[in-house]
Amino acid sequence: MSNISPFARPVYVMLKPVGSVCNLACDYCYYLEKDKLYPDVKNHILTDELLERFIQQYMECQTMQEVLFTWHGGETLMRPISFYRKALALQQKYAKGRRVDNCIQTNGTLLNDEWCRFFKENHFLVGVSIDGPQEFHDEYRRNRQGQPSFYKVMKGIELLKKHGVEYNGMAVVNDYNVDYPLEFYQFFKEIDCHYIQFAPIVERLGFHADGTRLASPEQQDANIKLAPFSVDAGKWGDFLCALFDEWVQKDVGNFFIQIFDATLANWVGVQPGVCSMAKTCGHAGVMEFNGDVYACDHFVFPAYKLGNIRTQTLTEMMYSQKQLQFGADKYEKLPQVCKQCEFLFACNGECPKNRFLHTADGEPGLNYLCKGYKKYFAHVAPFMDFMKKELQAQRPPANIMDHVSMENGHIILKA
Ligand SMILES: C[S@@+](CC[C@H](N)C(=O)[O-])C[C@H]1O[C@@H](n2cnc3c(N)ncnc32)[C@H](O)[C@@H]1O
Ligand code: SF4
Ligand code: SF4
Ligand code: SF4
DSSP per residue, 139-154: HH-B-TT--B-HHHHH
pLDDT score of 10 more than 90: no
Mean pLDDT computed over 259-286:
96
pLDDT in tens, 95-109: 999 999 999 999 999
pLDDT score of 32 more than 90: yes
Mean pLDDT computed over 350-366:
96
- The Cα 99–Cα 401 span in angstroms is 37
pLDDT score of 5 more than 70: no
Confidence of residue 63 (pLDDT cuts 50, 70, 90): confident
pLDDT confidence of residue 8: 53
- The Cα 92–Cα 319 span in angstroms is 25
pLDDT score of 54 more than 70: yes
259 closest CA partner among 126, 377, 378, 410: 377
**Ligand index nearest the alpha carbon of residue 338:** 4
Query: Is residue 35 annotated as a catalytic residue, yes or no?
Result: no
pLDDT confidence of residue 211: 84
* Strand extents, DSSP E, 39-146: 66-71, 99-106, 125-129
Mean pLDDT computed over 130-143:
97
Confidence of residue 2 (pLDDT cuts 50, 70, 90): very low
CB-based burial of residue 124 (10 Å sphere; 0-12 exposed, 13-18 middle, 19+ buried)?
A: buried
Confidence of residue 6 (pLDDT cuts 50, 70, 90): very low
**Ligand index nearest the alpha carbon of residue 140:** 2
Q: What is the DSSP string of 14-60?
A: EE-TTTT--S---TT-SSGGGGGG-TT-S-----HHHHHHHHHHHHH
**DSSP percent split of the chain into helix, strand, coil, nearest 5:** 40, 15, 40
pLDDT in tens, 160-174: 999 999 999 999 999
CA 344 to mean position of chain CA atoms? 21
329 Cβ contact partners less than 8 Å away, ≥ 6 residues apart: 352
Q: For residue 122, how many C-alpha atoms fall within 13 Å in the half-sphere facing its CB?
A: 23
| Cβ contact 384:267 at 8 Å | yes
Measured N-to-C along each axis, helices 81-95 and 113-121 cross at an angle, to the nearest 10 degrees, of 10
- The Cα 87–Cα 152 span in angstroms is 27
Average pLDDT over the chain, rounded to whole?
95
Mean pLDDT computed over 3-18:
73
State if residue 281 touches ligand 3 by the CB under 6 angstroms criterion. yes
pLDDT confidence of residue 4: 35
pLDDT score of 7 more than 70: no
- The Cα 37–Cα 193 span in angstroms is 36
Going from the Cα of 205 to the center of ligand 1, the distance in angstroms, rounded, reads: 17
pLDDT confidence of residue 340: 98
State if residue 24 touches ligand 2 by the CB under 6 angstroms criterion. yes
Going from the Cα of 136 to the center of ligand 1, the distance in angstroms, rounded, reads: 15
pLDDT score of 413 more than 50: yes
| Cβ contact 256:196 at 8 Å | yes
Mean pLDDT computed over 387-397:
97
| Cβ contact 152:108 at 8 Å | yes
Read off the DSSP letter of residue 76.
Answer: G
H or E stretch at 284: strand 284-287
State if residue 347 touches ligand 2 by the CB under 6 angstroms criterion. no
Going from the Cα of 405 to the center of ligand 4, the distance in angstroms, rounded, reads: 28
pLDDT confidence of residue 3: 34
Catalytic residue among 292, 297, 385, 402: 297
